Amino acid sequence: MNIFRLAGDMTHLMSVLVLLLKIHTIKSCAGISLKTQELYALVFAARYLDIFTHYYSLYNTVMKLIFLGSSFSILWYMKRHKVVRRSYDKDQDTFRHHFLVLPCLVLALLINEKFTFKEVMWTFSIYLEAVAILPQLVLLQRTRNVDNLTGQYVFLLGAYRGLYIINWIYRYFAEPTYSTHWITWISGLLQTLLYADFFYYYINSVKNNVRLQLPA
């Protein structure tokens, strides 16, 4: 464990807490893409299959439980909660996210480190996470004004994998036994690059203290 990995996990944790805070306190999920949340729940379900079979550390197990619990409770809020679900704008959240799932699954079957069920599912989760934000980014472009909490949520979500990239670089040079993980590295880089233009507009809006508006 290094400081970059810890910072990445904390940033990721902050992103889900910001989202839960928004939904739980103001009882609204306006501007949040349910499709991205569904993809993330799938990412965690596929990635953490080893949660009960392979104990690595208490920290890892606790964090996996938090990410699983938070992502599924966000789904519950957005789909079942009588007040919150009314603020979900399904006419705007139209990205056909099913078209993301199948290609990631096929790619995971073709390109993986080991052809076992758990390894293919883990690889599938890596590929899917790289594109899971797309419905949310598309929704942000549509809903002109982005409220602060949603902007913070997306920013933190993009920053966490960026910190992981620094963690991978650090581990590669600092840990003699750390080998190459091209699948994780390339997917993580692609994932972070998808946020590039969002980061640009978000940082500008924070700097100039104006509301975040993404270009059409």
Partner 1 sequence: KVDDASHDEL
Question: Taking CB under 8 A as the rule, does residue 119 contact partner 1?
Answer: yes
103, 109, 113, 213: residue in contact with partner 1 (rule CB under 8 A): 113
Nearer to partner 1, 180 or 209 (CB): 180
- The set of residues, in sequence order, having a beta carbon less than 8 Å from that of 105 and lying 6+ positions away, is 124
C-alpha Rg value of the chain to the nearest Å = 17
x/- map, 131-160, partner 1, by CB under 8 A: ------------------------------
Residues 74-93 as x/- pattern, contact with partner 1 by CB under 8 A: --------------------
Task: Establish if 176 lies at the interface with partner 1 (CB under 8 A).
Answer: yes
Contact 68, 45 (CB under 8 A): yes
- Quick check: 164 binds partner 1 (CB under 8 A)? yes
CB of 34 to partner 1, least distance (A): 23
Q: Does residue number 117 form part of the binding site for partner 1 (CB under 8 A)?
A: no
- For the CB of residue 45, give the shortest distance to partner 1 in the complex, in Å: 14
Smallest distance from partner 1 to CB 48, Å: 8
96 binds partner 1 (CB under 8 A): no
Closer of 150 and 192 to partner 1 (Cβ): 192
- Is residue 21 within 8 Å of 180, Cβ to Cβ? no
Question: Which residues of this protein are in contact with partner 1, per CB under 8 A?
Answer: 5, 9, 12, 47, 50, 54, 56-57, 60, 63-64, 67, 113-114, 119, 122, 164, 167, 176-180, 184
